[in-house]
Chains A and B, each alone.
Chain A
């Protein structure tokens, strides 16, 4: 689904590794019955190859693509560096539900509690960059972990919530560096389309996923 941040992870890896692929978008508000045969949880992203093998859970799809396809490895070979990327991934895990909850509330109740929690989570990520003294979360060049966390930071940009990284300068610099990546920039969401989608999606409108088409 064009606006799903989890599916975005997989699309970024496909693009970054130059893997030929086709996309079938699923209406997440009105799922086709056959989709549950691909993923019993009915969630995107799902990969299906010509052998009929199905892989789901976004992080698992990304790792699978990195292992199954040649070219630039996005995950490091060194076991410790690979473990570090996975530990950062765990550190990031509270951000997606927090950001979604923030977006759901924005026009309604007071969301200062959620704002504070987001600040806390971003500070954890800032600490990683500060300690590593590198631009990216995996080192001096962009790697898997950067792509895995990027889609939510893309939301901050499209929704003009950049002030949320004002207190985390390394994170801000990381975002700027990410925007220069060819995979990131070629897949960057159109802000108008995203806002249109989000409005309809939060109202549970069946047409949300096709906004702009």
Chain B
């Protein structure tokens, strides 16, 4: 059980108190990929933290004092300083906390990592049409799809609010007959993954009746 396995706070909830000294607080949601970035960095650097999960469909009124639009992730430290935007939060943690540095020391290598991230955003932002190649599904959509189908198993849900074009693309892809015909059953996929991570050789045959 991860340390963020707590119920979300929603409308009408009492605002949390100040962050205790020696701790940093993360406002998060268990399935959000952006917040996931920050949780990865907190974990990798062994930073003592607490997590408050926010109900993104029913946000607490007090949460808008942490972020003007109620986005996650947001970091709050014991000085009451707030840091938001996942990439900025991750860099802040790397700068502010000792131990293993996640960004390289060399400034050119650091720049390279940041350029790679831009490449990632360009893929997400490359769409000005429903599909990556235009108004109809084409090769590039099929080439991307397998990764997104697997992510979808975990539920992207409200997190693609940042990337509505991507959410639309996923919905459009699911209507494609080819994609539909080959869609992995969610439970079977989860069952496979479960056995796979236990190095169970039967993983590959999971879900087969024969």
- Which residues of A line the B interface, CB within 8 A? 41, 49, 53, 55-57, 60-61, 63-64, 67-68, 79-80, 82-83, 86-87, 90
- The 7 A-B pairs at the shortest CB distance, nearest first, are namely A79-B95, A67-B107, A79-B96, A83-B92, A64-B111, A86-B88, A55-B111
Instruction: Evaluate contact between B96 and A67: CB separation under 8 angstroms.
Output: no
Give B14 Cβ to nearest chain A Cβ, in Å: 26
Instruction: Let me know if B108 is at the binding interface, CB within 8 A.
Output: yes
Interface residues of B in 85-99 (CB under 8 A from A): 85, 88-89, 91-92, 95-96
List A contacts of B88 (CB < 8 A): 83, 86-87, 90
10 contacts between A and B (CB under 8 A): A41-B122, A53-B108, A55-B112, A64-B108, A64-B111, A67-B107, A79-B92, A80-B81, A83-B83, A83-B91
List B contacts of A82 (CB < 8 A): 91-92, 95
Instruction: Let me know if B7 is at the binding interface, CB within 8 A.
Output: no
Instruction: Evaluate contact between A55 and B115: CB separation under 8 angstroms.
Output: yes
Instruction: Evaluate contact between B118 and A60: CB separation under 8 angstroms.
Output: yes
* Bound form: Cα–Cα A119–B27 in Å: 31
Give B87 Cβ to nearest chain A Cβ, in Å: 8
Point out the residue from A60, A80, A83, A87 that lies within 8 Å of B111, measured CB to CB. A60
Q: Report if A60-B115 is in contact (Cβ < 8 Å); known contacts: A68-B107, A68-B108.
A: yes
Instruction: Evaluate contact between B92 and A80: CB separation under 8 angstroms.
Output: yes
* Bound form: Cα–Cα A68–B112 in Å: 14
Instruction: Let me know if B150 is at the binding interface, CB within 8 A.
Output: no
Instruction: Let me know if B145 is at the binding interface, CB within 8 A.
Output: no
Q: Report if A64-B107 is in contact (Cβ < 8 Å); known contacts: A41-B122, A80-B96, A82-B95.
A: yes
* Bound form: Cα–Cα A18–B9 in Å: 51
Instruction: Evaluate contact between A87 and B83: CB separation under 8 angstroms.
Output: yes
Instruction: Evaluate contact between A86 and B96: CB separation under 8 angstroms.
Output: no
* Bound form: Cα–Cα A49–B108 in Å: 10
Point out the residue from A55, A57, A79, A80 that lies within 8 Å of B108, measured CB to CB. A55
Interface residues of B in 50-91 (CB under 8 A from A): 77, 81, 83-85, 88-89, 91
List B contacts of A86 (CB < 8 A): 85, 88, 91
List B contacts of A63 (CB < 8 A): 110-111, 114
* Bound form: Cα–Cα A64–B110 in Å: 8
List A contacts of B114 (CB < 8 A): 57, 60, 63
Q: Which residue of A lies closest to B107 (CB)?
A: A67
* Bound form: Cα–Cα A61–B84 in Å: 23
Q: Which residue of A lies closest to B110 (CB)?
A: A67
Give A97 Cβ to nearest chain B Cβ, in Å: 12
* Bound form: Cα–Cα A90–B112 in Å: 20
* Bound form: Cα–Cα A79–B83 in Å: 10
List A contacts of B122 (CB < 8 A): 41
List A contacts of B95 (CB < 8 A): 79, 82-83
* Bound form: Cα–Cα A67–B91 in Å: 15
